[in-house]
Structure 1
Amino acid sequence: MEEKCGKGEIMIRKKRDLSPDAKLRFPDYLGYFFGAGTNIAGYIVSAFLLIYYSNVLYLGLTQVGVVMAISKCFDGVSDILMGRIIDKTKSKYGKARPWYLRMILPLSMCMLFLFWMPPGLSETWKYVYVFITYNLASTVCFTANAIAHSSMIGFMTMDTRSRGIVGVMSMISNTVFTILVTNFFMKICKFFGGGETYTQRGFTLTILVYLVFYAAAAVLAFLLTRERIHNVSDSESRETEDTLTKQEKEKKETVHREAEVPFWTAIRSLFTNKYWILCLVMCLGFYFLMSYASSATVYFAQYVMEDISLQGTLASVLYIVLLVGIILALPVMTKIGKRNTMAIGLAISAVGWFLPQITLEKTIVIAASAIVGIGFGFIAAPAGSFLQDTLTYGTWKSGVTAIGMGNAAFSFVNKLSSALGTIILGFVLDAGKFDASLAVQPTSAIHAIKLLYIWMPTVICLVCLGLSVLYDLDKKLPFIEEEIKAGRIGEKRKTN
């Protein structure tokens, strides 16, 4: 059938298959690519919020870390609530897709308040302001935005190959937008700051520039993507109910099952899914490194390598080579599976992180960043679809579809990893007697920065490598998908 287009949507002349197991077309992939741009505010916060607090506002890093740690308690609740809101959303545009547009204005306002502080506040009220603005941005806006975007993989199709491509597209687009942030943010700050890197004016105007990119990406993501799971309205359902065969009705019941699932049933189905739990733990480590590395690189470049311009070089090399790593990983993933591809990436990354411990020669440090990039590419290629595979397994095992809730927990882990990075950076730097007002840091601060940039990432890679041995879902998925298509899930799976 010809696709109906709402007002303001791009009219795509070619027909789109809107069946639940459809193979996605180019507009969907392109739309999801731009969807990653809606997370650009999160990239800025994870990479530069701490340096803004320490070098522009001169706030205590330990106090900021405590504020963020407390905020994560609220974040966990908001992720679950937002996942449930998406599961219950009823719109002609779908469940997750409308949120691309809904969050443009509130997120933009919260980002401006986050990177600005009213003058004249006492020390206590400064941290109160940080708590309020950080929670408005992260707990509310980032949550709604990130869960909606990550849930789109599950709502766009059940086709495993298309999901895999979307997952890879997600990592490529995340990399592209991360490069746009990490390589240019400080340069734009310096430009608007009149040659000074750390000024309020520079940060505020730079945020405005990136918010324009964010809004454009959100609009394009909404216009180009389509949902195929749970996208049938009640009236359409009644009109077509009589024409469905018994088997088709069972399949329809399966794909629409989530809307009727009680809250605690969905929670129980997730926490009895061993692969989902393992995936979350591994992703916590990986996304911790992805977000944490950006912040640590700023301090490492300025205070250990004594060259702040090197920060952009290291970040750009890592993320550009990451794209190459993803391309190299695709044929490898096809031959040896997602788990084994990720294991190779973790081993390569561990080597790259450790190299600066051997020598701080500039060329070697840059080469080490490239090695980490290759490793990240091998990790990123399968990581994008890992979560959806575990949720597919959960549907088959328990008979409960919990895409929104499952992605909500993933969003929480993603933000938790970013917050943990900021918290750990703050505590370790304070313990090392780091002082942003000093051009030359004490030896203890240099050791702290090396611990953060070299040793911690190396250990995390090795721990995740050990955990990857326990993930053996790849070989089971083809059978599970056929069982779901046949309607043999949950109790039916046990009796058939």
Structure 2
Amino acid sequence: MAKDKNAARYDKDGVRRVMRKRDYFSDFSGQLALGLMANIVGQLNYFYTDKVGLAVGSVGIILAISKVVDAFTDVIAGNLIDHSSGGDHKYFKWIAPQIIPAAAIMVLMFTVPKNQMAGIIYALVTNLILSAGLYTFIATPFSAVMTVRSRSLSERGSIGLFRAVGNYGAGMLISILTIPVTNMLGGTQSAWIKYGVVLGVLVMILFTICWRNGKKAKFACDYEDEESEIPAEEEEEPVPFKEAMTLLLKNKYWVIILLFNLITSVTNAVAASGGVYYSKWIFGNDNLVGITGMAGMLATVVGFILSKPIIARLGIKRTICVGLLGAALLAGVRCFVPTNFMVCVVTGMLGGFVQIPMMSLYGVLTSMTIDYNEWKYDKKMVAMTGGAIGFGSKVGNGLGAAVLSAFLAIGAYDATLEVATTSMRYSIYAFNNYLPVVINLLMFVIFLKFDLEKRLPQMREEIAARRAAK
């Protein structure tokens, strides 16, 4: 007998499943597009210094300013979205108006004037439009959707896994393709503009797939009226901005995840920009960054296949701790053999593998803090929580760009040289090898205080009882 595709499905905790294969695919498409936007910013440091000729110190300041401003717009966007109407379905309506401008900015990022002052101003403005404007008003509602789409923790975990692969896959695609493709097209600024056109079209297609499916999809709330034993949730009354921030700062789990996003984003930002400098100046060929990117892509595929059983076996907290310690250990290996290309490829590949399960939990961690908000304060503050945690990611990216530029400046970086000086080489070692060791160990210590995983089942029972009593 054929299975009824419309039959209700439940997870092991008795919570109704709502996600279909096409929902996961469209969600993956949205995250892939966001990942392309975010990761191309990681290539701008090299583009500005080596293709346009902007001063390395100015580049660091530009990227840091844009990310810090971007961080504050995350909080503002979250507050605006929380105060908008439309219930759980309101989030996708924020995405549609940004799709075409997002495609356009992927091209405009590379049309930088070669005059120093004009180039600096243009680079700052286009970075602000991309990061603080378009990216924020897509990423903030997109992040919030995970929590309201499904009440099932296992489905949220699967959504997080697809999003992690989309985000990490975008990073790998940018790493593999950017330098070889632009070099094949001539290696000039014009080549980068052509590359931007292709990325812009791809971003537009991916966001359209995500939005069209999202506006038609069924959410958990759509089933609650059909099942009388599950109390339907009313649309939450908006929480004033000041009160919301005060409550979030009192939520220690939110603070831990804020720091988690902040610190890991520093290493991600440095890694996104730093690999090409390593390939060019340590190994003597910037095209080699494509090989390290392909190794990372292989690790992503394997990590995707094994993430669910790893998380099921280790649990959320131990999965993250293993990922942090593994990343620190592998970066430590490179400290001892910094000029060995195969060691660099293998440690990068293994580093990607141990981090994929951890990265797939970012969204799950955010949804857990939202559940804690509801238990503690009887207020979920969905978009505000996600946007404020995004604050840590954006500040971390800004700090990462500033740290990278600072290391280059300390090493007296000069893009016109044929061979790296000793100071340049050690500055590149510092941000690629030494820094990840320190940062991942620091985050491991911070995350030891996260015990929400074992407390959450009891909290959810109390929330359900409170809702039923109303």
Same fold by TM (over 0.5)? yes
Q: Which amino acid aligns with 2:173?
A: L
Q: Which amino acid aligns with 2:451?
A: D
C-alpha distance after superposition, 1:174-222 (max 9, x if no partner): 12222222111222212222xxx2x111000001101111111111111
Equivalent residue for 1:373, pick from 313, 338, 352? 352
Superposed, 1:4-403 pairs within 5 Å as 15=6, 22-90=17-85, 94-118=89-113, 121=115, 123-193=116-186, 197=187, 199-225=188-214, 226=217, 228=219, 251-253=232-234, 256-257=235-236, 259-359=237-337, 360-403=339-382
Report the alpha carbon displacement of residue 437 of structure 1 after superposing the two structures with TM. 1.0
- Over 3 Å counting, the alpha-carbon distance change for 1:296 and 1:479 in structure 2 is same
Report the alpha carbon displacement of residue 223 of structure 1 after superposing the two structures with TM. 2.3
1 CA distance for matches of 2:227 and 2:183? 63
Q: Which amino acid aligns with 2:117?
A: T
2 CA distance for matches of 1:316 and 1:287? 22
Report the alpha carbon displacement of residue 295 of structure 1 after superposing the two structures with TM. 1.0
Q: Which amino acid aligns with 2:457?
A: P
The range that moved more, 381-390 or 27-36, is 381-390
- Over 3 Å counting, the alpha-carbon distance change for 1:244 and 1:450 in structure 2 is closer
> SS of 1:438's equivalent?
coil
2 CA distance for matches of 1:252 and 1:381? 27
Q: Which amino acid aligns with 1:37?
A: L
1 CA distance for matches of 2:222 and 2:243? 22
C-alpha distance after superposition, 1:294-349 (max 9, x if no partner): 21111011101222222111122124213323433422321331001111111111
Report the alpha carbon displacement of residue 104 of structure 1 after superposing the two structures with TM. 1.3
Report the alpha carbon displacement of residue 43 of structure 1 after superposing the two structures with TM. 3.3
State the TM-score, normalized to the length of structure 2: 0.90
Report the alpha carbon displacement of residue 423 of structure 1 after superposing the two structures with TM. 1.3
- Over 3 Å counting, the alpha-carbon distance change for 1:478 and 1:244 in structure 2 is closer
C-alpha distance after superposition, 1:124-146 (max 9, x if no partner): 33322222221111111111121
> SS of 2:360's equivalent?
helix
State the TM-score, normalized to the length of structure 1: 0.86
Q: 1:50 touches 1:295 (CA, 8 Å); kept in 2?
A: yes
Q: 2:68 touches 2:398 (CA, 8 Å); kept in 1?
A: no
Q: Which amino acid aligns with 2:43?
A: F
1 CA distance for matches of 2:87 and 2:153? 25
Q: 1:152 touches 1:227 (CA, 8 Å); kept in 2?
A: no
> SS of 2:112's equivalent?
coil
> SS of 2:285's equivalent?
coil
Look up the match of 2:463: 484
Q: How many residues align?
A: 460
The reply on whether 1:408 has 2:403 as its aligned counterpart is no
Q: Which amino acid aligns with 1:31?
A: S
Structure 1 stretches of 4+ with a deviation exceeding 6 A read: 16-20, 229-232
The range that moved more, 301-310 or 200-209, is 301-310
Q: Which amino acid aligns with 1:335?
A: R
1 CA distance for matches of 2:113 and 2:158? 45
CA RMSD of aligned residues (A): 2.8
The range that moved more, 325-334 or 385-394, is 325-334
2 CA distance for matches of 1:434 and 1:426? 9
Q: Which amino acid aligns with 1:127?
A: I
2 CA distance for matches of 1:117 and 1:463? 38
Report the alpha carbon displacement of residue 482 of structure 1 after superposing the two structures with TM. 1.7
Percent of pairs identical after alignment?
23
Could you list the runs of 5+ residues in structure 1 that have no partner in the other structure?
1-12
> SS of 2:158's equivalent?
helix
- Over 3 Å counting, the alpha-carbon distance change for 1:43 and 1:317 in structure 2 is farther
Q: 1:84 touches 1:404 (CA, 8 Å); kept in 2?
A: yes
Q: 2:270 touches 2:401 (CA, 8 Å); kept in 1?
A: yes
Superposed, 1:467-482 pairs within 5 Å as 467-482=446-461
2 CA distance for matches of 1:157 and 1:16? 16
Q: 1:97 touches 1:227 (CA, 8 Å); kept in 2?
A: no
> SS of 1:116's equivalent?
coil
Q: 1:88 touches 1:95 (CA, 8 Å); kept in 2?
A: no
- Over 3 Å counting, the alpha-carbon distance change for 1:307 and 1:125 in structure 2 is closer
Q: 1:42 touches 1:142 (CA, 8 Å); kept in 2?
A: yes
Superposed, 1:433-472 pairs within 5 Å as 433-472=412-451
Q: Which amino acid aligns with 1:65?
A: G
Could you list the runs of 5+ residues in structure 2 that have no partner in the other structure?
none
1 CA distance for matches of 2:91 and 2:73? 16
Q: Which amino acid aligns with 2:54?
A: L
Q: 2:257 touches 2:389 (CA, 8 Å); kept in 1?
A: no
Q: 2:262 touches 2:392 (CA, 8 Å); kept in 1?
A: yes
